[in-house]
Amino acid sequence: MSKSTSVAILGVFVADTAYRAERQPQMGETILGSSFVLGPGGKGSNQSVAAGRLGADITFITKLGFDDFADMAFKTWKEAGVKTAVTQTKDSYTGAAYIFIDDNTGDNAIIVCPGAASTISPADIDAVEHVIANAAVFITQLEQPLDAAIRALEIARANKVATILNPAPAAPLPDEVFGLCDYMTPNETETTDITGVPVETLDQARAASDVLLKKGVGTAIITLGEQGVLVHNKDMSEHVPAFNAGPVVETTGAGDAFNGAFATALAEGMNPIDAARFGCATAGISVTRPGTAPSMPSRDEVLALLAKS
Question: Known catalytic residues?
Answer: 256
Indicate the SS3 state at residue 298.
coil
CA distance 180 to 167: 13
Contact 55, 302 (CB under 8 A): no
CA distance 136 to 263: 9
Of 51, 42, 39, 43, nearest to 81 (Cα)? 51
Whole-angstrom Cα distance, residue 10 to residue 63? Answer: 10
Long-range pairs for 118-121 at CB < 8 Å and ≥24 separation? 118/92, 118/144, 118/145, 119/63, 119/89, 119/91, 119/92, 119/145, 120/10, 120/62, 120/63, 120/87, 120/144, 120/145, 120/148, 121/145, 121/147, 121/148
How far is it, in rounded angstroms, from Cα 98 to Cα 110? 6
- Return the amino acid letter for 90: K
Q: How far is CA 245 from CA 51, 57, 261, 301, in A?
A: 19, 26, 16, 10
Helix (H) or strand (E) holding 45: helix 43-53
Handedness of CA 240, 246, 247, 253 (dihedral sign): negative
